[in-house]
Amino acid sequence: MKILLSKISLALVLFSSLSCDVNRIPETEITDPAFWKSESDLKSAANYLYTFLPGFNLNEVWSDNAYGTSANPISDGSRLAPSTAADYATPYQLIRAANNILEKAPNAFVTDAIRNRYMAEARFFRAFAYVQLVQKYGNVPLILKTLQENSPELSQAAASRQEIINQIYEDLDFAAANLPTPAGLGGADYGRISNTAALALKARIALFEGTRAKFHNDGDPAKHLSIALNAAKTVMDSKQHSLFANYENLFQYAGEGPQNKENILVKQYGTDPANIVLNHNFSENLYTGGANPTKSLVDSYLMKDGLPITKSPLYKTPVKSTDVFQNRDERLAATVFKQGDPYNTGAKFTTPMNYHKTGFGPKKYFNATDFTTRRALLDLVLLRYAEVLLTYAEATFELNNSISDADLDMSLNLLRQRGKIAPLSNTFVQANGLDMREEIRRERRVELALENLRYWDLIRWKTAETELPKAVLGNYFFAEEFGRQTPVVVNAEGFIVTQDASFRRFDPAKDYLWPFPVNDLGLNSALKQNPGW
């Protein structure tokens, strides 16, 4: 018994001294301190920024260029301030990721050139995020470092528009100075940011600011317009870019890759339908009426003689839908579907009125193969040379209130040439009673139709208040072709009425800026809601 007891007490002693190691470490993930060492680390970190490049979207319906299958609250003025908004939150995620690289890259074991290159990419993306923010919200908080949960910056007031724009310029200047040229990128790095991408983005935002300052009478138009002009000119002088010969193919697989010198920045989706890394469904979205061109857009396309339909002797009132394309700017047929176009394996296009509400089908970026497989892989062009040329022309005109024929010929007329319409000149304008500003704007609208820029043009020109409240009209109603299966409303002139003017509004006192998400106002009392919301 005694031995027994001693053994039991031995067991109890052992028992009470049991102790094991409870440490467990992740086996399939790495931690931050082990990272940020090599060039490949910097590149992997920078790659994350590219995931923020916007993908295909139907935002053209915000403008007077397109109408979806149902009303759009931004376009018709029926929206309310949201409680949370990705439009506001996502750019700050990109800003944090960029700031993180800017803070950690200095400690990597790489040459200064390599370090600066990835820091330049980070600064490009930071500017890219602030461009989105400033266009929508105006004054926003300016965050230039990765914040901690107790950082005072979290409760800081919005920085002025001017501070943000200056930061954007500074970031883009650094990016332009430290990034390779498009040719210098080479094949393996195709798709990465080049110095001309930085300049093209700078030209875009500077034109936005310059014209906005001018037409909203807020700020210094000349300063920004000069910046836009110079940035555009630098891209033009770099000789890195030229127009792609075929406008329609610009938005097809034929226009992909470095051989197309017009593209400056592209969101890539890959090419192999059997090996899908990332895909979209934009062809399907277009076919099912995601963004149908409006009468307003189609009417803005010129006749071959360079005159608008209201002035050109070439224009005849159409009796069938294909007549609309007769003697028109060729870009119309590349942007809008024509009856009989191939659209599906072996099939000819007939307007599906249940989807194509306006009687016009969107064709830009529509691809028959993508549509058939429902796995679209076409790349999305985010910045292209044509826009740089248009920016050059517009900035020049708005800065001087005039533009020389030489300037027109080196910019805008290259696009008209591709569209196979007569060139624009000061004499042509005078001879035909046209307005130069209107023609420059028309050229921009036509060339960049359905590329998500029109809404911002209306905002900066302060024309949204006149254009957006108008009724949304479509094509002539060609009863024979469109069929009676889908009844439509037709006005006295015979046009399809897609949305009546009584359903549309735009309040200039509030709608030029977007509402901040209500949650953010609650979390940061220094942030004030935009006027009228």
Restricting to residues 445-504, which ones interact with other proteins according to CB under 8 A?
A: 481, 483-489, 496-500, 503
With a CB cutoff of 8 Å and minimum separation 6, the contacts of 180 are 117, 189, 194, 195
Q: Does 317 bind other proteins (CB under 8 A)?
A: no
- In angstroms, what CA-CA distances link 352 with 342, 361, 428, 481? 14, 8, 40, 10
With a CB cutoff of 8 Å and minimum separation 6, the contacts of 531 are 509, 510, 513
Q: Does 200 bind other proteins (CB under 8 A)?
A: no
Of 2-10, 301-309, 322-330, 443-451: span binding other proteins (CB under 8 A): 2-10
Determine whether 287 is exposed, middle or buried from the number of CB atoms within 10 Å of its CB (0-12, 13-18, 19+).
buried
Q: In the 8-state DSSP scheme, what is residue 325?
A: G
Backbone phi and psi for residue 311, each to the nearest 5 degrees, phi listed first: -115, -20
CB of 47 to other proteins, least distance (A): 4
Q: Write the Ramachandran bin of 177: left for phi over 0, alpha for psi from -120 to 50, otherwise beta.
A: alpha
What part of residues 275-314 is at the interface with other proteins (CB under 8 A)? 275-278
| 301/349 with CB nearer other proteins | 349
What part of residues 56-85 is at the interface with other proteins (CB under 8 A)? 69-71, 76-78, 80-81, 83-84
Say how far apart CA 496 and CA 478 lie, in whole Å: 10
With CB under 8 A as the contact rule, the residue among 57, 103, 114, 154 that binds other proteins is: 154
How is residue 62 written in tokens?
């915000």
CA–CA–CA angle 226, 229, 233 (5° rounding): 140
Of 105-113, 224-232, 270-278, 320-328: span binding other proteins (CB under 8 A): 270-278
Q: What is the DSSP string of 460-524?
A: HHT-HHHHTTS-EEEEE--HHHH-SSS---B-TTSEEEEE-GGG----TTTTTSPPPPHHHHHH-
How is residue 144 written in tokens?
């230039």
| 312/524 with CB nearer other proteins | 524
Q: Does 14 bind other proteins (CB under 8 A)?
A: yes
CB of 235 to other proteins, least distance (A): 21
Q: Does 2 bind other proteins (CB under 8 A)?
A: no
Q: Does 109 bind other proteins (CB under 8 A)?
A: no
With CB under 8 A as the contact rule, the residue among 3, 29, 317, 401 that binds other proteins is: 29
What part of residues 116-145 is at the interface with other proteins (CB under 8 A)? 141, 143
Q: Does 190 bind other proteins (CB under 8 A)?
A: yes
Q: Does 17 bind other proteins (CB under 8 A)?
A: yes
Count other Cβ atoms within 10 Å, centred on residue 25.
Answer: 6
Q: Does 171 bind other proteins (CB under 8 A)?
A: no
CB of 33 to other proteins, least distance (A): 7
Residue pair 471/497 in contact by the 8 Å Cβ criterion = yes
Q: Does 271 bind other proteins (CB under 8 A)?
A: yes
Give the x/- contact pattern for other proteins in 421-450, rule: CB under 8 A: ------------------------------
293 forms beta bridges with: 66
Q: Does 354 bind other proteins (CB under 8 A)?
A: yes
CB of 148 to other proteins, least distance (A): 8
CB of 200 to other proteins, least distance (A): 19
CB of 401 to other proteins, least distance (A): 38
With CB under 8 A as the contact rule, the residue among 345, 401, 431, 433 that binds other proteins is: 345
Of 8-16, 58-66, 197-205, 308-316: span binding other proteins (CB under 8 A): 8-16
| 162/268 with CB nearer other proteins | 268
| 93/166 with CB nearer other proteins | 93
Query: Residues touching other proteins: how many (CB under 8 A)?
Result: 120
Q: Does 237 bind other proteins (CB under 8 A)?
A: no
Residue pair 360/292 in contact by the 8 Å Cβ criterion = yes
| 41/387 with CB nearer other proteins | 41
Residue pair 335/362 in contact by the 8 Å Cβ criterion = yes
Q: In the 8-state DSSP scheme, what is residue 139?
A: S
With a CB cutoff of 8 Å and minimum separation 6, the contacts of 101 are 42, 45, 46, 49, 118, 119, 121, 122
Of 25-33, 166-174, 212-220, 417-425: span binding other proteins (CB under 8 A): 25-33
| 275/317 with CB nearer other proteins | 275
Determine whether 485 is exposed, middle or buried from the number of CB atoms within 10 Å of its CB (0-12, 13-18, 19+).
exposed
